[in-house]
Amino acid sequence: MGSCFSSSKVSGSNSNTPSTNNTATNTNTTVNVHPNRRETSKAPSTTVVNSRNQEGSNYNRGKGNINQKNQQKQPRNSQQNVKPSSRRQGGVIPCGKRTDFGYDKDFEKRYTIGKLLGHGQFGYTYVATDKSSGDRVAVKRIEKNKMVLPIAVEDVKREVKILKALGRHENVVQFYNSFEDHNYVYIVMELCEGGELLDDCQKTVGIREDAAIVVPQMLKVAAECHLHGLVHRDMKPENFLFKSTKEDSPLKATDFGSSDFIRPGKVQDIVGSAYYVAPEVLKRRSGPESDVWSIGVITYILLCGRRPFWDKTEDGIFKEVLRNKPDFRRKPWSNISNSAKDFVKKLLVKDPRARLTAAQALSHPWVREGGDASEIPLDISVLSNMRQFVRYSHLKQFALRALRSTLDEEEIADLRDQFSAIDVDKNGVISLEEMRQALAKDLPWKMKESRVLEILQAIDSNTDGLVDFPEFVAATLHVHQLEEHNSAKWQQRSQAAFEKFDVDRDGFITPEELKMHTGLRGSIDPLLEEADIDKDGKISISEFRRLLRTASMTSPTVRDSRGM
């Protein structure tokens, strides 16, 4: 089976009580097809309220309202097909029975269903055999009769769409096909026989620095989701399976039933599993950053065998997540590398703006030292920052360039990786075509060629038609991270950037100093007014720092020396 990455005993950060004492609140069954393992139900993580309908075993674990009663389990005889009633009480035909999903209709001709692997609220997952090739696959069978409302139908369609989009990724369970008949929808997927991420772990708590081998695989899944405009929303160990029992078996994400497309500004449902839920999810503001938090929780558990946030009740867990920081003082943290601790801390930052992204985390020294960080994916936040840079006022653009010049190589190592990923021909600069290709990989954002040119011209401060690394860094800096991760260093860096404008060192940037530094023509008042909060006609250090933090927009009345 895959390498051992943790201990099988997982306790709360404030308790040594094994996780098996926690009360299971859903009906999930562990998928265990390895012959030496017991096929028994397992008490999974406490589940948060989830308004969605969910199905299935580890390939799609059932999740529902935390107060929901356990569903009655279907008999294990997988060959016995009991025809469900077409009508529910009250004579209403379920939406699923009235829907043609557009999937293939010949499932029974192509596959033979075998052993039951697991079940959830609306579906059952089986081993099945391809009649033509003899290959074994996993099949999730979802009952149409239980898709009462249109949202349940949309959930199934969305899951199939997501699996199709992600199924070629090396760390995502491969999607083969979808079928339907009068009673069921069938989703045919790759069969993973290596067990869950935590199945093979030791029975005593120990240091697992080799977690750096498996954590990058989870981060790559998250990064791929985010480039497709998706948030996974339920990253946890139970939703990752090893492909095989081999020592070097890849890890596969199997459950995308809670996943959804990113909708900025939309109030989100509270979805996920209590121990792994991010603070912003509890405030109904989830996004890609929430997946990274969950991976941070998993990494904490893999390294020390305890949960970072623990309580006997669900409300207590939520309070821990919102109010407290993880404990890095108790054993075995004293024996774990500072690099590993730094990695976990930067994933468990409560402010999502200051948290590492999935791609950034893959550039972290701990991952580089202990695992495989090759082929780091593009970072959606870097692409977003480039799109945003063109909208900033000239003053903020100049301020960011000044801040960039104060940073050392270690502080921008992740941006070096991103620059290298975009610079396809490795000539040290990013061309218009390379920028177009990079921005196109952020699939939800489809940009016209003219818009890409506008972005390049905004970043290209020396007007040579190309973006070099210093220009790239200025446009893609994560200011909130700089401030959160090391406040003392942030104070020094921002002060140094400020002093590039404050020539006479009197503690203020005057209109004359601003014009001298920027080379802008015409009245400087619009730029000054943007940053001069107290309206005293000059910019203080606190006002300068606020400018760096905030998304200041373009002031159209000011022109630079290029006539832009």
Half-sphere exposure of 414 (CA within 13 A, CB side): 24
Contact 1, 34 (CB under 8 A): yes
Catalytic residue among 199, 234, 291, 311: 234
Residue 140 marked as a ligand binder: yes
- C-alpha 62/C-alpha 147 separation (Å) is 14
Exposed/middle/buried for 496, CB within 10 Å: 0-12, 13-18, 19+?
middle
Q: Are 139 and 130 in contact (CB under 8 A)?
A: no
- Evaluate whether 286 touches 276 at the Cβ level (below 8 Å): no
Q: What is the number of other CB atoms lying within 10 angstroms of the CB of residue 232? A: 27
Phi and psi of 117, rounded to 5°? -95, -40
Is 280 exposed, middle or buried (CB count within 10 Å of its CB: 0-12, 13-18, 19+)?
A: buried
Nearest-5° angle of CA 129, CA 184, CA 156?
100
- 491 CB contacts (<8 Å, ≥6 apart)? none
Total Cβ atoms within 10 A of residue 118:
27
| 374 touches 434 (CB < 8 A) | no
Give the Cα separation of 504 and 516 in Å (integer).
12
Q: Is residue 234 annotated as a catalytic residue, yes or no?
A: yes
Name the nearest CA neighbour of 514 among 395, 419, 407.
395
In degrees, rounded to 5, the angle at the alpha carbon of residue 478 between the alpha carbons of residues 530 and 281 is 100
Which uninterrupted H or E stretch holds 163?
A: helix 150-166
Catalytic residues: 234
Please state the residue numbers annotated as binding site. 140
Please state the residue numbers annotated as binding site for ATP. 140
